[in-house]
Amino acid sequence: MAEPGADKYFTENKAYAGLGRASLHSGVIFIAARGANIFVQLASTILLARILSPHDFGLVAMVIALVGFAPMLIDLGTSEASTQKTHITQADISTLFWLNIAVALVLTVLLAGGSSAVAVFFGEPSLTGIALVLSGTFILTALSTQHYALMRRAMQFRHIAMIDISANLIGSIVSVAMALTGWGYWSLVAKPIVTAALTVVFVWMSCHWVPGRPRFSSDVKELVGFGLGVTGFTMTDYLAKSADRIAIGYFLGAGPLGYFQNAFTIYSNLLSILTEPLHNIAASSLSKLRNDADELKRSWTLALSTLNFFSAPAFAVLAVTGQDFVVLLLGQKWAPAGPLLCIFAVRGIAHCVERTMGWLHVAAGRADRWMWWGVYSAVFQLMALAAGLPFGVTGVAISYTIAMFVLFVPALVYAGRPVGIGTKDVLQAVGPQTVAALTAVAVGFVVQQEFLRELSQFMRVFLSAMVCAVAYFAVVIGVFRVTDPLRLVLSVLRDFRAVRSPVSS
């Protein structure tokens, strides 16, 4: 069913003049908005961590680790499929919408019916109610999936950012208010429910498209086929990412899992500031360049090099300051999460690069290769989990970090093969930044232990961060002469300045 203004979502998906610049501007806006969103997330986590116990966080983490795959299964990869496809119709998207709803209904019934089994599995009776309530997020996710996809296809990233920030802010406020009034772990359960409900409202208000009757066609089958390949990756990837929390919760209990979960939350928030918004923008933009291999490769190289140029020092700084950072943010009772955050942050240097492989798989239209890489990667990471689990939560964090450094270059080489990107291209794009970041971590730890141990936590964090940043840029610029990302960012900032301060005629 067409609504006024809905036609813009169904135009041909192809390159146009100024696409590269538009993508860069969208990236800056979306990353800034994502940063604001993460600030809200971290602020709420800090407040909740000071009110609630590690056991409360561990209880909710158990259920989320089991059911967090649901949004990916509900999506069935169809949002990626519709984003990259050259031609789509309103009938195609309507059919995908109702398919998402059907999958969500099945999952809701399964989780609600199996909530008691979840409690029995972990030996925590309160998980029955938690699982039952969280099953309500499935339908809410399905109601916004295709609207989000249409907005990404039309590159309406400013609107998406505002929706995400608004829903997250209100959900966080509700969660903290509930915690302050004695709701305990239910305040953690409420946040995803409230956020998902508001997201549906805001997305439907912003995207003026209303689904019609489903109509299966060859185009829909093609979209679903591509989407199933994406789902194959996201499901195996989720298994690899969540198996650690399931295993820790089962073998070590809610307390250790609470420390692990909050350290991982801080780490994953920093990771998602860049990787999640940039995936949407890069996949949309590079898909439009599918018929121009040289331009696709050039755009990919510059984008990846720039991302890594700024993400690597961020994770290096977090690795050096993580122990003090956790105590300053969450309080002394969370000190055992500090070393875990340091280990996760080292992993982030490689992980941020590895997360970009989807740019190439989607742009090349090869969801099948993305799926198979997910299988290989999941098997490897599960082996790492088995090796690290006997050594507790620290062993798990270390083993996963080693696994990521083994996988991240092969992941991009495998993704890039269909479009002519090889090992040399990947190493040239990310090698200098990775070496510089690891060097900065080593220098930062040495300086911190030798000269800064007697300082206050705040001063130690500040000075350690400065030392780490200086060491990184000294190596990446002074030794490797990597400067293109700086010039690119400066040019984009000049564009924004020109827009905000036009010269009067």
The string of DSSP codes covering 239-283 is: HHHHHHHHHHHHHT-HHHHHHHHHHHHHHHHHHHHHHHHHHHHHH
Whether residue 58 lies inside any domain: the answer is yes
Cβ neighbours, 10 Å, residue 482:
22
Q: Is the pLDDT of residue 206 over 60?
A: yes
Tally of domains in the chain = 1
Q: What is the DSSP string of 393-410?
A: HHHHHHHHHHHHHHHHHH
Q: Please write the tens of the pLDDT for every residue from 250-290.
A: 888 878 888 898 899 889 878 887 677 666 666 666 766 77
Whether residue 501 lies inside any domain: the answer is no
Q: Is the pLDDT of residue 503 over 50?
A: no
Distance CA 183, CA 402 (A): 39
Of the pLDDT bands very low, low, confident and very high (cuts 50, 70, 90), residue 400 is: very high
Predicted pLDDT of residue 91: 86
- Report DSSP state, residue 18: T
Q: Is the pLDDT of residue 333 over 90?
A: no
Predicted pLDDT of residue 2: 46
Predicted pLDDT of residue 254: 79
Predicted pLDDT of residue 492: 64
| Mean pLDDT across 369-381 | 92
C-alpha distances (whole Å) from 156 to each of 49, 151, 215, 216, 465 are: 35, 5, 27, 28, 35
Predicted pLDDT of residue 435: 97
Judged by DSSP in three states, 51 sits in helix
Whether residue 15 lies inside any domain: the answer is yes
Predicted pLDDT of residue 505: 37
C-alpha distances (whole Å) from 221 to each of 12, 218, 247 are: 19, 5, 37
- State which of 50-59, 288-297, 370-379 shows the largest mean pLDDT: 370-379
Of the pLDDT bands very low, low, confident and very high (cuts 50, 70, 90), residue 194 is: very high
Predicted pLDDT of residue 1: 47
Place of tokens 């299966």: 216
Distance CA 238, CA 76 (A): 14
| Mean pLDDT across 79-93 | 75
Tell me the average pLDDT of the chain.
85
Q: Please write the tens of the pLDDT for every residue from 25-52.
A: 555 666 676 677 778 877 888 899 888 8
Q: What angle do CA 243, 244, 247 make, to 5 degrees?
A: 80
Q: Is the pLDDT of residue 15 over 70?
A: no
Predicted pLDDT of residue 331: 84
Whether residue 22 lies inside any domain: the answer is yes
Taking the mean position of all CA atoms in its chain, how far away is CA 268? 7
Q: Is the pLDDT of residue 55 over 70?
A: yes
Q: Please write the tens of the pLDDT for every residue from 211-246.
A: 888 888 777 888 888 778 888 888 888 788 788 888
| Mean pLDDT across 5-20 | 55
| Mean pLDDT across 480-494 | 81
Distance CA 199, CA 471 (A): 42
Q: Please write the tens of the pLDDT for every residue from 109-150.
A: 888 888 888 888 888 888 888 888 888 888 998 998 888 888
* Residue range of the domain that includes 290: 6-495
| Mean pLDDT across 394-421 | 95
Whether residue 199 lies inside any domain: the answer is yes
Whether residue 285 lies inside any domain: the answer is yes
pTM listed for this prediction = 0.73
Predicted pLDDT of residue 448: 94
Whether residue 421 lies inside any domain: the answer is yes
